[in-house]
Structure formats: C-alpha cells, structure tokens
Amino acid sequence: MALAKSTEDGSALARDVAAFLQSLRGERRAALNTCLAYERDLAQWLGFAEQKAHGPRTTAEVDLLFLRSFLGHILKQSKPSTVARKVAAIRAFFRYAERHGLASKNPAAMLALPRGKRRLPSVLNVDTAAELMTTPDDETLAGIRDRAVVEVLYGSGLRVSELTNANVGDFDLQHASVRVLGKGSKERSVPLGSKAVASLHSYLAEARPGLSATGEAGQAMFVSARGKRLGVRAVERAVKKYGTLCGRADLVPHGLRHTCATHMLEGGADLRAIQEMLGHASLATTQQYTHVSMDHILRVYDNAHPLARESEKAEK
C-alpha cells in the first residue's frame, strides 16, 4: 500500500497521516470500516502526491490548489459519493493536523464537494414487509433462524453488522430489547417488537441448539449451518432470497432498516425517537425518511382523495 511505502521512505506527510490513523483507531475509537476506508483514501492521496514532481512532502506544504488537482484526478474515475468520502477523510486529517500544530491552516475546509444525485432509500410497503416476515420456511432450522433475522432487522432497524455481532447475552427478551454496539463503538439499547421476540424465542428453543452443536459459535446469537457466527454476507444472501420470493429482488438488509424507520414515521413516531433507535449521530441523517414518507403520502392521496380522482377524470 502507498501509505506503508511512504512511511518507510520517510515522508513527513505520510508519517503525519499514519499518526492520524493511529489516533483514529486508538483515541477516537472509530469503527473498523471507517478506519479502513480512511486508510485506503489517504493512501491514494499520498500516492498522488508522490507522483507529482513538486508535490508536497510535509503537511504544511499542502495547499488548496494541490487538493483541487487531486479531486480533478479522481473525479474522472469515481462516483460523486466516492469523492465525497475521500474529501471527508482529507478534512478529518487536516482537523487533526491543525489540533496538533502540523499545519497552520486547513486547506481542505475550502474544498467544494461534487453534487451527486440524491438517492432516497428504497422501502417495502406494509403488505410486502408482512409477506416477507412469513416467507422463511419454519420447518427447517435455517428457516426458523432466518425468520428471526428478518423480524429483528425490520422490527428494530438494526444495521446488519450490529445484528451479526450481537451475542445471546445482548438480548433481553423479557424486556423486549437488545443491546448493540453501533458506529464509533457507541452502545445503545434498541426495542424489539412482539413478533421479533416471539421469533427469537422459537429460534433459541428450536433452532440454535442444533445449529450450534459444534460449539464454534460461542456466544453468537445467530449461527450458520456450519455452527459458526452468522456472517454479513450470509444475511445479505438470505434477505435477497426472501425478497426475490416477494417480488423484490433488489432487497438488501439496509432496505429493511430504511423500511423500519419509514413505517415508524408514517405511524406517528417522533423523529428524535427514530434517531435514537437507529443510532444516527445527526438528526439530518434521520430526516431523509421524511422525504420517503411524503412520497408515500402523495401516492396515497392520488389514489384515495376525491379531488385527486376528479382531476384525473378531467385530464381524460
């Protein structure tokens, strides 16, 4: 990796980046995926600097013009969302650099992000969501487990990684809640719906003992057919399988999280409560569901309101 090579070669800029990443992992306890993404993005940035004959070799030498030239380079081969993530990594590094006296100013603060097309989350309607919950075959161990998986994903809006990392002891079925470790290693307690609790009781009594017979799953709540902790990819395959059977081959676990939030909002839940339940650091992230909900309301209006129907007749 370019980052490792630059550090070995003694680049002061690379050493500062390495120190920032170490701080990210240690002091700030950022999520593993965030650390890995920042490391990849900053390695690409350092590689770009090394290829330039007069590229910066220290953090203090980096200016806005150089950062803009890097953005121009990656815009040719990356989506706007990818570029935005790389800019976020560079900005985070320069905030660190300013705090530690490695740079007198933050050139990344003036970077303009590319405007990508806003993509609203895809959600299931209530009837399809209900159908999905009954699709797994409850005559098999895997089916009983999968029923519990989709019930928890839809009923509690967990991230798929939060679900697969959860242990048996994290679930309090008596009080209908689960304790999860979210992004940034932030712990939160999430409520479980009554149907999710019932499915979990069935899974623990009828399926998990058989699936975990090898003993390799340890304390993992959800266990694979091989007796190991169920992985993210396995959950993605299962959700896609059941989604396809319900006519939604595009369904992914995160779609169930979106569906959970949207249905709660449509049912009258407070936006702040949804934010706490989903573990969003910013309310702005949760507010995306207000747009999804409004789309739904407009469709209902067009199909049900007398004035909307009269308008359609007039147009015909």
Which residues are the active-site residues? Answer: 159, 183, 254, 257, 280, 289
157/238 Cα distance (integer angstroms)? 17
Residues in the chain: 316
Structure-token pair, residue 243: 């989604």
Please, which residues bridge with residue 172 across strands? 177
Side-by-side strand order, sheet with 177-181 = 171-172, 177-181, 187-191
Three-class SS state of 177? strand
**262 C-beta neighbours (distance < 10 Å), count:** 27
- Contact between residue 158 and residue 193 where contact means Cβ atoms under 8 Å apart: no
Phi, psi at residue 213, to the nearest 5°? -60, -30
Residue 204 CA: distances (Å) to CA of 137, 176, 211, 282, 310: 16, 15, 10, 35, 54
Residue 190 near residue 277 (C-beta atoms within 8 A): yes
Both tokens assigned to 78? 């990356």
> What count of other Cβ atoms lies within 10 Å of the Cβ of residue 41?
21
Report, in angstroms and rounded to the nearest whole number, the Rg of the chain calculated over CA atoms: 24
Nearest Cα residue to 45 out of 117, 115, 104, 111: 111
